[in-house]
């Protein structure tokens, strides 16, 4: 069976991306844009997980910059966020929560990825996503009692 060069390239890039997941420093900076993830996240009694960190983005950033998160634990990956960032060049705190109703996340070690991302329409009516800053880190999820 013959495999096309394009398919082989896409497969190789996908494998490389998977192999490098969660290896960047906890605080990643790109020009005037940055985002970080705190070492500890919380699981509440009502079944939500909350992560925390800081971000900054330049006033010249595209409109509609959002904070997107991925939490990975065991075989579970949970994407959430969507909070719009204030791009004024200053550092801001962020926190984001997601329901654990349909996923199996528990106290203990996990991996977290935070991204400052901007989406725009390109000329072919497709959506182009660009990442202004990204941070990955190993975290600990703790139960939070009221």
Residue 71 has pLDDT above 90, yes or no: yes
* Residues 43, 49 contacting (CB under 8 angstroms): yes
Mean pLDDT of the 74-86 span? 94
- Would you state the pLDDT for residue 31? 60
* Residues 68, 81 contacting (CB under 8 angstroms): yes
Which has more confidence, 37 or 9?
37
Domain boundaries, the chain: 24-144
Residue 9 has pLDDT above 70, yes or no: no
* Residues 54, 102 contacting (CB under 8 angstroms): no
Percent of the chain with pLDDT over 90: 64
DSSP state of 91: -
User: What's the CATH fold of domain 24-144?
Assistant: Immunoglobulin-like (2.60.40)
- Would you state the pLDDT for residue 137? 97
For 12-61, write each residue's pLDDT tens digit.
Answer: 333 333 333 333 334 444 468 999 999 999 999 999 999 999 999 999 98
Percent of the chain with pLDDT over 70: 78
Which has more confidence, 83 or 42?
42
């Amino acid at each position: 069976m013959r495999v096309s060069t394009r398919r082989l390239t896409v497969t190789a890039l996908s494998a490389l991306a998977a192999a490098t997941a969660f290896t960047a420093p906890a605080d990643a900076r790109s020009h005037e844009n940055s985002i970080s993830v705190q070492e500890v996240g919380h699981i509440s009694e009502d079944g939500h997980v909350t992560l925390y960190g800081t971000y900054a983005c330049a006033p010249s950033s595209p409109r509609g910059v959002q904070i997107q998160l991925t939490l990975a634990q065991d075989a579970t990956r949970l994407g959430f966020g969507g909070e719009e960032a204030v791009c004024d060049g200053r550092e801001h705190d962020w926190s984001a929560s997601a329901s654990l109703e349909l996923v199996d996340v528990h106290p203990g070690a996990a991996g977290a990825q935070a991204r400052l991302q901007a989406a725009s329409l390109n000329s072919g009516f497709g959506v182009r996503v660009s990442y202004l800053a990204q941070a990955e880190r190993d975290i600990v999820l703790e139960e939070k009692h009221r």
